Amino acid sequence: MHKVTKLAAALVLTFSGSIVMNTAVAAEKCPIDLRQSKAVGESSARKVQKAFEAYQAGKLDDAIATLLEADPRGEFDKAYVDRMLGNFYAEKGQMDKAIKYLKVAVDADVLGGVDHAATLRLYSDLLLQEKKYKEAITYYRKWMNFTCKKDAIVYRRMAIAYTEMQQWDNALKTVNEGISVMDKPDKGLYQLKFQSLFNLKKYKDAVGVLEVMVPLFPDDKRLWVQLAQLYLLTEDYDRSLATYEIAYEGGFLEKSDNIVRLCQLLASKGSPYRGATILEKHIKSGVVPKDEKNLSMLAGFFHQAKDLKDAASYYGQAASMSTGGTLYLKQGRLLSLDQKYKESIPVFEQALKAGLDNPGEAQYELMLAYLNLKQYKEAYRYAELAAKDKKTAKSATNYISYIKDKARIHKVSL
């Protein structure tokens, strides 16, 4: 026998419940309890039964054809048949037809309590699915009024409709109603609350939502990253760094941008070497692109950590990807600062070759390097060149006399 699907099971209950008259008097005054079930007419019942049997046998098209042949007498029979057609078309994926028939059924407002409630709910869900947001909200509220239920899932779906229409205040109000009635944490409701607050630019309140969500859903990598980013947005740098570090240790930082941001925070908060080693690791692994920008940043972190050797090396790698000489100039200066004057000379020459807005800067550094190597003739040559650049003219000119004196003492012809 063909396995009965969930929809079929629901229809079994609906069908059997509608054929038998329910004479129990509702104890409550809620509309769903006051609405009695009724039996469809004999003619309609035969078609309904035949259609349902076809459906159970997996012959959905035959079931639909049978119902389309029915000629229901009276408002109730028509609503009942339309409800079944709506369900069948929904399962078939023909949502326009499903919505058409379900609308007739719900607007008639004559089905038994359970049937009418289920039809309202399905109709609302299909409206939401088909992006008919305003209508979906209207019918979700009708469902709540009819059933006297406050359902967190329904509030979530109405909130989704409001967010799609960018009605953030209404979305926030609806989400809060949903959160107040949920029997267990609903991630979707919290996410919608965060989204609404963020779009209302209530960033600190949005932080509060994420602070609730992270301990509730600790395995959700995105939440840790979002919280760290929002701390950053609200300029709470200490908490941002702490959250990024926890996320990193948990293996939640998978994207290049997030790893780079962690390293930047580490450097800015007094841990440049840790930032450098993390960035270096992920550049080598390929997670962070090995490009001029990231290599230059890495060099800067090592420089900040006073690791001149690694800083110079990475400035050199970045410089090889650059179209100008600025990074070569930085590399050369670090080599000179590390007293590696011979190594610095070809780097400064490369800076000049690559091009600088102020070539005197490299010429001045070459003068100093040659002077430290006691090569006075070359030092003097670059001093004169640097003196022609407005940016270095004064400093270079001051050195010219000093170099002449040194050359004279060491009997070097300039």
Sequential pLDDT tens for the chain (414 residues): 333 233 333 333 333 333 332 333 334 589 999 888 888 888 888 888 998 899 899 999 999 999 899 888 889 999 999 999 999 999 999 999 999 999 999 999 999 999 999 999 999 999 999 999 999 999 999 999 999 999 999 999 999 999 999 999 999 999 999 999 999 999 999 999 999 999 999 999 999 999 999 999 998 999 999 999 999 999 999 999 999 999 999 999 999 999 999 999 999 999 999 999 999 999 999 999 999 999 999 999 999 999 999 999 999 999 999 999 999 999 999 999 999 999 999 999 999 999 999 999 999 999 999 999 999 999 999 999 999 999 999 999 999 999 999 999 988 888
- pLDDT value of residue 141: 97
**Would you list the domain boundaries of the chain?**
1-149
Identify the CA nearest to 138 among candidates 152, 120, 115, 160.
120
Instruction: Look at residue 19 in the predicted model and tell me its pLDDT.
Output: 31
* Confidence at residue 20, expressed as pLDDT on a 0 to 100 scale: 31
Q: Which pLDDT value is given to residue 126? A: 97
CA atoms in the 13 A half-sphere facing the CB of 128: 23
Cα angle 156, 162, 167; round to 5: 140
Candidate CATH numbers 3.40.50.720, 1.25.40.10, 3.30.1490.20, 2.60.120.650; the one for domain 1-149: 1.25.40.10
Cβ(267)–Cβ(243) below 8 Å: no
Contacts (Cβ under 8 Å, ≥6 apart) of 13: 114
| CA–CA dist 368, 362 (Å, integer) | 10
SS3 string, the chain, reads CCCCCHHHHHHHHHHHHHHCCCCCCCCCCCHHHHCCCCCCCHHHHHHHHHHHHHHHCCCHHHHHHHHHHCCCCCHHHHHHHHHHHHHHHHHHCCHHHHHHHHHHHHHHCCCCHHHHHHHHHHHHHHHHHCCCHHHHHHHHHHHHHHHCCCCHHHHHHHHHHHHHCCCHHHHHHHHHHHHHHCCCCCHHHHHHHHHHHHHCCCHHHHHHHHHHHHHHCCCCHHHHHHHHHHHHHCCCHHHHHHHHHHHHHCCCCCCHHHHHHHHHHHHHCCCHHHHHHHHHHHHHHCCCCCCHHHHHHHHHHHHHCCCHHHHHHHHHHHHCCCCCCHHHHHHHHHHHHCCCHHHHHHHHHHHHHHCCCCCHHHHHHHHHHHHHCCCHHHHHHHHHHHCCCCCCHHHHHHHHHHHHHHHHHCCCCC
Dist. CA 74–CA 103, nearest whole Å: 17
pTM for the model: 0.79
User: Can you say how many angstroms the Cα of residue 6 is from the centroid of all Cα atoms in its chain?
Assistant: 34
The CA radius of gyration of the chain, in Å to the nearest whole number, is 38
Q: Which residues of 261-296 are buried (b: 16+ CB within 10 A; e: fewer)?
A: bbbbbbbeeebbbbbbbbbbebbeeeebeeebebbb
Alpha-carbon span 194 to 213, nearest angstrom: 10
Residue 222 CB partners (closer than 8 Å, separation 6+): none
CA-to-CA distance for 334 and 336, rounded, in angstroms? 5
Which amino acid is residue 208, in one-letter code? G
The reported pLDDT for the residue numbered 43 is 80
How far apart CA 53 and CA 205 sit, in angstroms, is 55
Determine the pLDDT at residue 1.
33
Given this model, what pLDDT does residue 37 score? 81
Is residue 31 exposed (0-12), middle (13-18) or buried (19+ Cβ within 10 Å)?
middle
